[in-house]
């Protein structure tokens, strides 16, 4: 069984339809049970749809992976436990 990190690592390829049948099955099983990944997959797919539909020309190959990577890095940032807040005092504007 895949865990969330494995699913996220493969999600871009999954959306690009570039995963092996076995991996796809694992992802589908995980997505069916994990609301976190489900939500992520859903928003990533919607983002891709919006991007795709807003352009009349064909998207360069691999573009969805790049968009996904951006989304993923944001998700990872959000999930990452924060370092000691006191070590980086926030500057006031």
Tell me the residue number closest to Zn ion, measured at CB: 34
Measured from the CB atom, is 30 or 64 closer to Zn ion? 30
Rule CB under 5 A: which residues touch Zn ion? 4, 34, 36-37
Least Cβ distance, residue 74 to Zn ion (angstroms): 16
Burial of 36 (0-12, 13-18, 19+ CB in 10 A): middle
Least Cβ distance, residue 22 to Zn ion (angstroms): 18
CB 78 within 8 A of CB 43: no
Alpha-carbon torsion, ordered 8, 25, 43, 13, to 10 deg: 60
Measured from the CB atom, is 19 or 63 closer to Zn ion? 19
């Amino acid at each position: 069984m895949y865990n969330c990190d494995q699913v996220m690592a493969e999600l871009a390829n999954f959306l690009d339809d570039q995963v092996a049948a076995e991996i796809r099955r694992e992802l589908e099983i995980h997505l069916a049970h994990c609301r976190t990944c489900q939500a992520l997959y859903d928003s990533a797919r919607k983002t891709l749809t919006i991007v795709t539909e807003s352009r009349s020309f064909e998207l360069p190959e691999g573009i969805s992976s790049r968009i996904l990577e951006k989304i993923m890095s944001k998700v990872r940032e959000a999930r990452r436990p924060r370092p000691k807040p006191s070590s980086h005092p926030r500057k006031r504007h």
